A and B are shown apart, each in its own frame.
Chain A
Amino acid sequence: DAGVIQSPRHEVTEMGQEVTLRCKPISGHNSLFWYRQTMMRGLELLIYFNNNVPIDDSGMPEDRFSAKMPNASFSTLKIQPSEPRDSAVYFCASSLGTGQGYGYTFGSGTRLTVV
């Protein structure tokens, strides 16, 4: 298995533009997570899905952020419009379940810079 695959690895965009981050989880994993990492706030959970259904989106900063998981092998995180404060590394992770003692497998992340 190639692991959790994220694209793009790096994204530089201008303020106000739409940004779409993509994630392919490990086949067979039922849970998918989006985290954001910054120096100031560390790793923050944005949203997670179980069996393609959003379970907890309380970490999504505001309405500018949206996430979808149309099938078990693909998820997107969209920011529209983007702002400089959205600059961060965005990680996708997947696991066999949530709250059942499974470890997470992380992708390599997308480094987003909004100028």
Chain B
Amino acid sequence: SQQGEEDPQALSIQEGENATMNCSYKTSINNLQWYRQNSGRGLVHLILIRSNEREKHSGRLRVTLDTSKKSSSLLITASRAADTASYFCATDTGRRALTFGSGTRLQVQP
């Protein structure tokens, strides 16, 4: 079963707008990670947030984590056409390998 579930499944925005994706999970975690996958390619690690952190930034990316609600969000600010991809959250429970969510397909219109 999926540990992480992303919402929405698909998102279409205009270039320059912000994109927000959400991830919910079921069990306690050590950390949560976000990955990007371009069409026909492998996943690329974007950012990791630990269970004792609430917010983290990396360039145009902002990740939040609410362990009480078992949820995380990924915000991409000032989106570009090159941000078009699928985005996945992955949970690390410390007991086995990462479990990936079902992903959000982001389309950024130029």
Complex CA distance for A98 and B43, rounded to whole angstroms: 17
Q: Which residue of B lies closest to A106 (CB)?
A: B42
Q: A99-B30, A99-B92, A101-B50 are in contact. Are A42 and B101 (CB under 8 A)?
A: yes
Partner of B45, one of A104, A107, A109: A104
Q: A91-B43, A108-B41, A108-B42 are in contact. Are A45 and B48 (CB under 8 A)?
A: no
Partner of B42, one of A48, A56, A99, A109: A109
**Would B88 and A43 count as touching, CB distance under 8 A?**
yes
Closest chain B CB from A53 CB (angstroms): 14
B side interface size, CB within 8 A:
26
Is residue B109 within 8 Å, beta carbon to beta carbon, of the partner chain? Answer: no
Q: Which residue of B lies closest to A33 (CB)?
A: B97
Q: A42-B102, A42-B103, A43-B88 are in contact. Are A103 and B97 (CB under 8 A)?
A: no
Binding site secondary structure of chain A: strand
**Would B102 and A104 count as touching, CB distance under 8 A?**
no
Q: A45-B99, A56-B97 are in contact. Are A101 and B30 (CB under 8 A)?
A: yes
Complex CA distance for A109 and B42, rounded to whole angstroms: 6
Q: How large is the interface on A (under 10, 10 to 19, 20 to 34, 35 or more residues)?
A: 20 to 34
Is residue B60 within 8 Å, beta carbon to beta carbon, of the partner chain? Answer: no
Known: A33-B97, A99-B93, A99-B94. 14 other contacts (CB 8 A): A4-B42, A42-B101, A43-B88, A56-B97, A91-B43, A93-B42, A93-B43, A98-B96, A103-B33, A104-B35, A106-B35, A106-B43, A107-B42, A108-B42
